[in-house]
Each structure stands twice: as structure tokens, then as C-alpha cells.
Amino acid sequence: MNNLINKKILLVICGGISAYKSLEVIRNLKKKNAQIKTILTKSAKEFVTPLSVTSLSQEKVYDDIFNIENESEMDHISLSRWADLILVVPATANTISKLSNGSSDDLASTVILASDKEIYLAPAMNVRMWEHPSTKSNLKKLKNYGYRIIGPEIGDMACGEFGKGKMTEPNEIIKQVESYFNNLEKNKKFKALVTAGPTREYIDPVRFITNKSSGKQGYEIAKSFRDNGFETTLISGQTNLDSLSGVKFIKVDTALEMFNETINNLPADVAIFSAAVGDYKIKKYENEKIKKKESLNLSLEKNIDILANISKHNSLRPKLTIGFAAETNNLIKNSLKKLEEKNCDWIIANNVSDKSIGFDSDENQISIFYKDKKRETLKKMSKSLVAVEIVNRVIEKLN
């Protein structure tokens, strides 16, 4: 089955010996009826000509961010939005360095930096450049940003040396692109629901009690579901994060509001409850602001347990129901207890007493506790990569 028909692929060609292989990538993508637009970097034109690229892609070549014709016809933002996927072939050490540091000094880097689409890099360079610590550090950053890396391979190089750094062959690159679109199509049948952020329980019109949460991990999970083709709903408490394009976004305040919106947006194939829902609420809400006193006694009562209610629901329970556990001690014991008491399929736990992976951090380290009592601990990584790992396991389970 050809799933590349009419797919819009933006090909960025960088300057390296392997640039000639990009012509084969274009030829094979065109055979599969994909739509191709290309950007040539300044150094790429030393290896392949705009004429050869145009003759194969049957489209004009973009190469200059300051070209008046380019900017009036399709500026760098529009070009990045046009694409379903961006493919950088070959991705040189210089390009990898620029992207990892957020540089945008030419059209290629500006388009990639402005893109909200999936970006694949096919690195190609000398083995010593590939093994240099700066290259490894730059690639680690890009992976954390969500870039996908294809290769490189081990083999003979144009410089006469042998080792890792040879660009992956065009046919294998296209197979990975096909696999991406195939997964998108396959996952369209799935519906995902994610809760994120803190809830607020109001004392009076201006005061409330809450749980600490940035919402970052839940938002990254929703983003990863979206990027993998799921119909995705994100129900969020109050955070400083922007809503996600392509995701049904619902903002709530209280635990009861979050519960009601969750019920309203079920059924779903998978639900991940990463929100920091308040365990307690104020027993008696004051309609007017309470005046300052020497002391204030608050009477609390137990709040609605969203995860337990959904996990034990006879008809609305998702096929895969996953809870989060933010623990400060006894992580294994507490997580297993929560897994059983809440009747969910998985518990994803982290130790929030570690400030480097805490609430406001961009990194996380999780342990996944499964219903059969098996446990899997992932290494410390960015929250975006944690989300990818979680969603990959969800896809494997649902399929």
C-alpha cells in the first residue's frame, strides 16, 4: 500500500558529499506520488545544482531567505506550514550544530525552527566528526526537542576512512518516512484523553488551595498522541502553557469541573490522568472575601477521585486507563498500592523530591508499573521524550 500519495514533504539538502543521494530520495518519493518542495543550503549548491533538483521534483527550488519572489509567493512560515513532514538529507555536522542551538541564519534553518511538523534528520559526516563530543551533545539536544534521527550507517567513506557516519541509503530513508505516515493512518481510529495541570479548590472568590504542577508532562503526552495520529483531547487545569494546535483543548478550574469534562469526552481508547488533582476541597465556600484574621481554620472534605471513578466505571472506562503518581518516598510500595486501589492498567510514577525532575523541570525520570506487577524504569530524559516513550508503549498495547 502506497501511503505517500499527495503527502507534502519538504526536503532540505545540506552541503556534503552525500548530497547527491538526495536526488535519489526525490526520484523515489515522486514515484510514490508525494508532493516535494526543496530547500538548498548555500553549500549544498556546491554538490547538486538547483536545475537537477527542479527537474526531478518538478517544483522550484528555495534557497534564499531574502529572495523577494520567495517571500511574496511563500514566506518561510508558510513553507514550514505547507509540509506534512520535513526531511533533512544529508544533515551535516554544521546543520546539526545550528539546529541544536536554535540558529536561523539561512532559509533552511529558519524554516525548520519555525516548523510545527515532524522533522527527520539523516546525518552524514566523517567518522571523527560523528564521534566528536560536540556532535553527540548536539544530537542529544535535538532528540530531546523531538527530532527523529535516521542513521548514520557504518561503512566506507568518500574521504577513504571507514566507520560510522555514512548516510543511510535513500530506500531505507523512504521506508522510515512511509512507516511514519502508516502509523498516523493506523492510529486515526484511536481516541486519547489526557488530563494535566493542577486543580484549584476555592476558599472564597479570591483564594484557593491547589497542588503543585506545571502541566508540562501532560501537555507533552497530548502532543505526542496528536503527532501519532490519535484524536486527542487535553483537559487542563490552570497553567502557563499554550494550548496545542490539533488537540481538543478544555480549560478547567476545579476537580469537579475536570471530572465532568472527562465524562463528557468519553469514551476513549486510552486515558492518561497526569493532572495534579486536589485530594481535598473546602467544606464551606464563602461567597465573599474572608477578611484577614490572626488565624483561619479551614474545614476540608474529600474531593472526587477522577481516576478511581473512571477506572471503575462499567461503560465509560477506556480500554487503557493510566494514572500518575508523584511520590516523595516509598515509590514502589505507594505506586503498587495506587495501581490496585484505583483499578487502573498502569501507574506512571516519579520521585518529585528530586528537584532536577520535579514539577517545573523540563526533564523527568519515570517508572511504569503494570497491572501484572511488572515494573519498567526509564532513564532520565526530557519530558517530550518521556511522552514519546509512553505513547509508543500505548500504541504497542492498543495494536
Cite the active site residues.
159
Residue 38 to residue 41: CA distance in whole angstroms: 10
158-192 burial: b if 16+ Cβ within 10 Å, else e? eeeeeeebbbbbbeebbeebbebbebbeebeebbb
> What is the grid cell recorded at 91?
544533515
Three-class secondary structure of residue 359 per DSSP: coil
Are β-strands 346-351 and 375-377 bridged in parallel, bridged antiparallel, or unpaired?
A: unpaired
What backbone torsions phi and psi does residue 147 show, to the nearest 5 degrees? -65, 145
CA dihedral over 121, 86, 270, 235, signed as positive or negative: positive
Residue 260 to residue 256: CA distance in whole angstroms: 6
What backbone torsions phi and psi does residue 165 show, to the nearest 5 degrees? 145, -10
How many beta carbons lie within 10 A of that of residue 289, not counting itself? 11
**CB-based contact 180:118 (threshold 8 Å):** yes
Q: How far is CA 161 from the centre of its chain?
A: 37
**Which residue is it, cell 528537584?**
355
